[in-house]
Amino acid sequence: MPARTIAVGDVHGCAKALNTVIDAIRPTPDDLIVTLGDYVNRGPDSRGVLDALAALQSRCRLVPLLGNHDEMLLQARTGRPTTAATVAESLRRGRPPRDWTRELARLTPENWAFLESCRSYHETEDHLFLHAAYDPAQPLSRQPDALLRWHSLRNGIPGPHYSGKVAVVGHSSQKNGKILNLGHIICIDTYCHGGGWLTGLDVHTGQAWQSDRNGRLRTRRGPR
């Protein structure tokens, strides 16, 4: 089997869904799997998600990105003040910044090491991978964290990146459970924790693997 490049959307503690999608993908050592962040919070088993991702590192070339919820958890662990973006998002949604006590108590040193290893973005010959959004005129190395991890597509969809590469993102949940494909940007946060699906997408063929939070699988073959 030729090497594949596969993106996995926002997991949000849905460990059963993640394990189902990984089993369906059947990763090989040559495959590149980019997970787009938001491994924790909202779903039932953040620790199970992080354990599964750590185990996946031995089966493929895994590139884990950091999501805004992962960033907030790391901040809560150190006791540092939350970022302005964190507070602004919480107030926009009409609730105070989250209490992370439950997650902090359950995670292991290995879980923390995994979160600390996560990157802000990944770039290949044809695609850009990031959690949230981007400035079309700037290389990924110069993108502000507020865009990479916090900007919702509901507040504005960026135009095509100057590189001509297709951006693959999460963060902006598609509550209809469908992949949002605008040509220059593809969003694969398909709302697993809220009744939708966790999506794994082969970015070259368009094949998709999806599972609900209870581990029920559905698949779709390209084109996108």
The confidence score (pLDDT) of residue 95 equals 47
pLDDT attached to residue 198: 98
Report the C-alpha gap between 139 and 161 in whole angstroms: 9
CATH number at residue 21: 3.60.21.10
What's the predicted TM-score (pTM) here? 0.91
Q: What is the pLDDT of residues 101-152, one digit of tens each?
A: 788 888 999 999 999 999 999 999 999 999 999 999 999 999 999 999 999 9
pLDDT at 91: 40
**What is the extent of the structural domain holding 58?**
5-220
Give the count of domains, the chain: 1
Non-local (6+) Cβ contacts of 99 within 8 A are none
For the chain, how far is it from start to end, CA to CA, in angstroms?
A: 21
Q: What is the pLDDT of residues 46-76, one digit of tens each?
A: 999 999 999 999 999 999 999 999 999 998 8
Predicted pLDDT at 80? 61
